[in-house]
Structure 1
Amino acid sequence: MSMEMEVEKRNHRKLGQQLELFMSMEEAPGMPFFLPKGMVIRNELEHLWKQRHQQVGYQEIKTPIMMKQELWEQSGHWEHYHENMYFSHVDEQNYAIRPMNCPGSVLIFNSKRRSYRELPIRFAELGLVHRHELSGSLNGLLRVRSFTQDDAHLFVREDQIESEIEKVLDLIDEFYSTFGFSYKIELSTRPEDFMGSVEIWDRAESALEKVLKKKELPYQINHGDGAFYGPKIDFHILDSLGRSWQCGTVQLDFQMPEKFHCQYIGEVNKPHRPIMIHRAIYGSIERFMAILIEHFAGDFPFWLSPVQAKILPISDAHLSYAYQIKQDLELAGFRIEVDDRVEKVGLKIREAEKQKVPYMIIIGDQEVENESIALRKHKDGNIGQMSIQDIIARFSEEKVNRQ
């Protein structure tokens, strides 16, 4: 199969429709609708994200998606980004719908007196943002106007910068390994439209470069492509076709703490300015889902699959046992459907294959009599007879190991 045909076969918009994952509607251009099966994948991604962040010392927060315009003027987004923002007018006040989550994290940091002993403070937020993209550039889940960034904002002392960035790089590597992605790294430096002094930018760029060299990570320098408030490390993951996708980012920011007068009290009771680290791993849930759909060609690993097994009774006489098996597997924590249509089992198998369901469970006279099931794997064919205990053990291993 040619590369063009392979790419088209994996098109996430077509697979999204075929597998009933998401849809786009004229009523909300660039703002995707997630269908029940798409929500399963989305929830699994979010569950993994929340679980790991809690385990490594992040605190989850949630901040408003609409805040007063003055906040965005103070943050610098108004000057540098207002052409991409949406606005509203409420109670004779101008509001902006957030294009980024960082000011909300800053407001929470500033909401109480902070001590040097508290730092680093790591706030994690799955934050919905809106950005005005030109209608001609919209593309399924890859290029949208509303999306959820898997953000985190770390408030650190200057002596903590390198150790915290190291931990972030390790966490990003762990996430990408879970999905089987390799990646390339770019260090993006000061853009023309930058905020702050050249001296601060040089310090920030030097800190990022030092960590990359210490960890012996190969990287390229992307001159002038940093965010307006600080330099960044960008991660480009490579999919199963070798295509590169920009996803994760780690940004060092001396500017925003200055603009919002952030401070913590040091050892000798003097105020100090923290440094902010902005970082995302998926980049956005929507974009990452699009990449996963194309990477796996819709053949998701067992733990991510919206339907993990489909039970195919051969006739109506086997329905009662089929639903009993469904209940047993659902109680064990798996996502199961029964195809109870009056159709030949061959047709049911072909349709389950087309829907890319990882496992099919065939139920006939022999299975009912032996209180067993016949297991079939997507693409691989028949595995054979097994007990319900054996199938639960098999599924549990794949789920735990995220296979």
Structure 2
Amino acid sequence: MTQEGPPVTTPFNPSDPLDIDTLLSDEELAVRDTVRGFCADRITPHIADWFERGELPAARELAREMGKLGLLGMHLEGYGCAGTSAVAYGLACLELEACDSGIRSLVSVQGSLAMFAIRRFGSEEHKSRWLPRMAAGEAIGCFGLTEPDAGSDPGSMRTTARRDGGDWVLNGRKMWITNGSIADVAVVWARTEQGVQGFVVPTETPGFAAPLMHRKLSLRASVTSELILDDVRLPASAALPEGTGLRAPLSCLNEARYGIVWGATGAARSALETALDYAKSREQFGRPIAAFQLTQAKLADMALEVHKALLVALHLGRLKDEHRLRPDQVSFGKLNNVREALDVCRTARTILGANGISLEYPVIRHMANLESVLTYEGTSEMHTLVLGQALTGTPAFRG
């Protein structure tokens, strides 16, 4: 028989109904609050306009400011990187994507793809040349893996690298490359006679071009590019010494997917907060729509999914900090959190009614962005099959 303790007197916090903040350290809370303040001051006042215009005009300036805050490659060690915990990095991604998915993508591609690839697979020359500048936001990186005919099946890439004397010569195209047109360095994956190989490609190299991709209706406040490699000649030292085989780029994608687990939750939180505020102020039939049962049911369901997603992200972050996080667990988080975030945004849109499609509110912007997040770094179908294989022991990727 247990003895009851004193009654709980702490008031219910709609912003943190499960008291998840109590599970975070002071340092983690400080990182979260710093990034939240930066976004509120520097990005939120402009993001709807950037999205409507379909551009990120301050990308390089923002990168330098983020570098000063230690946000670029923040979970990496050495070479000017902050070396924070995985949870602290996740919280930063959450706050960045609560502002906009495109802003989080800039940081994710810089740190979890380009910088991680160089840090994990590069030579000492690569690391010392690029990582300090990239951590400071003085150099921008991109990651060239996806191709017009090789998305979910990167092993079928057509970009090639052939030896010519002591050099490598690269030819091919990459598509949907974040940061490509503003990048100073590209990590490019190509097929060689020995298999897939990664290369560090300075973007001023002759034969390299990165034209912007236009007519997007998602991730509009983000630089999205095509990479064109036309007889790009590189010295032998451009090859990533440890970046051989398909497992190398896939491990980079796993780093980026981890950030998405948190980031998508931030977009969902923003939509929930917007819907809740709107429901309490919008009156119909003589009272706020928050007083109607159907609206309360929507808000309750949204709160359940947002904070369950946050618990999933936090648990995966703790596993990552303990070096126990498995790729299929990242798939679990990416599949669940993005899918539920998209549903939360759609539900929030119904609460806002016609105002839900206006850029005066962030909901439709988050909705449109999450349609891309659902697809990139592994489609929902692919992550479903990853989990299916983990559950059954049987792969189903090829029919």
TM-score by length of 1: 0.27
Higher fraction of strand: 1
Structure with larger Rg: 1
TM-score by length of 2: 0.27
Higher fraction of helix: 2
